[in-house]
Amino acid sequence: MPMKKEDIETLIKKSISDCIVEIEDLKGDGDHYKATVISKSFKGINKIDQHKMVYNALQGKMGRELHALMLITKTE
């Protein structure tokens, strides 16, 4: 079952509390999203670890309920 973009945003915000999240449904199918996550907590952390923080926030749903996620992370 596809995941709602609001659910993705909620999970990320619960884990990275100071973040701003923008979610875009790329194909309109609820399975292919683009997420831009902006957070001060990414400062000094390399991109791979920033992405790991976001994937960890998804609590194992990546590859299951969430099929594809294009991820962009930025510091404020």
Question: From the CB of residue 49, how many other CB atoms can be counted at a distance below 10 Å?
Answer: 11
Question: pLDDT of 1-10, one tens digit each?
Answer: 688 999 999 9
**Interior/surface letters 25-36, b for 16+ CB within 10 angstroms, e for the rest:** eeeeeebbbebe
Q: Which domains does the chain have, with CATH numbers?
A: 5-74 (3.30.300.90)
Question: pLDDT of 11-51, one tens digit each?
Answer: 999 999 999 999 999 998 888 999 999 999 999 999 999 99
Instruction: Say what the pTM is.
Output: 0.91
Q: Which of 66, 46, 67, 55 is nearest to 16 (CA)?
A: 55
